[in-house]
Amino acid sequence: MGSKAAILVLTHERPERLFQDISGLDQSRSISLAERFFGGVPRQSGVAPLDLAVWPEEGAACVASFPRFDVVCSRKISHDLPSEIASDVARLAGLRSAYAVCMESSRDWASIFAWSPKGVTRSLSLSPEGGVVEDVGQRFPFEVPFWSGRRSVRVSDYQLPFHPIDLGNEALRIFFNFILEGTEDDLCVDPEEIEMPVFHYS
């Protein structure tokens, strides 16, 4: 399947390590969050492990509310210009911060988005076909090895200084402590062991 993801986390805290202590799913708040996200009343249709929940089918979203954070996974947040989701993120986040990672390995595309109550703090989107589509805000420390050439692609004619999917998985690792591809470290959780409610809207 490769790496496909569209995940948004809303929290008052830094996102690191939130998924290491994931407990206390609030079903009622999860349904309310899904209603706010869809703009209507969705129907719940089971659960999915996080590694699959991060890329639900069209018309579906995996939405969960935990004591320290909320998480929404949906292709609706996957935009070539991540800043286009700013108004939706602001509506869901309120006074919280938000962090999103989206990617599709089928086109070597990845994006990173970060939001604070003051507005967009980081918005990056790139692919070899489109180049750097958006690059707004201060780069995160984990981006530095990529931009400095220390994570370069071993293909002479590759159109970018690094592989976007590598950056996307590193963003997942740093923000949320799991990856879809690559080598896990001691801080990584197993996304197959985390279940997310699945909602459909029709």
Annotate the chain with DSSP letters as a single string.
---EEEEEEEESS-STTGGGG-----HHHHHHHHHHHHTS--EEEEEEEHHHHTSPPTTEEEEEE-SSEEEEE-GGG--SSGGGGHHHHHHHHTTSEEEEEEEEGGGTEEEEEEEETTEEEEEEEEETTTEEEEEEEPPPGGGHHHHTTTT--S-TT-SSSS-HHHHHHHHHHHHHS--SSS---TT---GGG-EEEEEE--
Biggest CA–CA distance in the chain, Å, is 52
For the residues 172-197, what does the mean pLDDT come to?
A: 93
Residue 157 has pLDDT above 90, yes or no: no
Q: What is the per-residue pLDDT for 53?
A: 97
What are the backbone dihedrals phi and psi of residue 75, each rounded to the nearest 5 degrees, phi first? -65, -15
The pLDDT-based confidence of 74 (bands split at 50, 70, 90) is: very high
Judge whether 168 and 101 are in contact, CB under 8 Å: yes
Length of the chain measured in residues = 202
For the residues 160-187, what does the mean pLDDT come to?
A: 94
Q: How many other β-carbons are positioned within 10 Å of the β-carbon of residue 158?
A: 13
pLDDT digits (tens, 9 = 90+) for 108-132: 999 999 999 999 999 999 999 999 9
Write down the pTM of the prediction.
0.95
Average pLDDT, the chain: 94
For the residues 97-114, what does the mean pLDDT come to?
A: 97
Domain boundaries, the chain: 4-200
Q: What is the per-residue pLDDT for 1?
A: 54
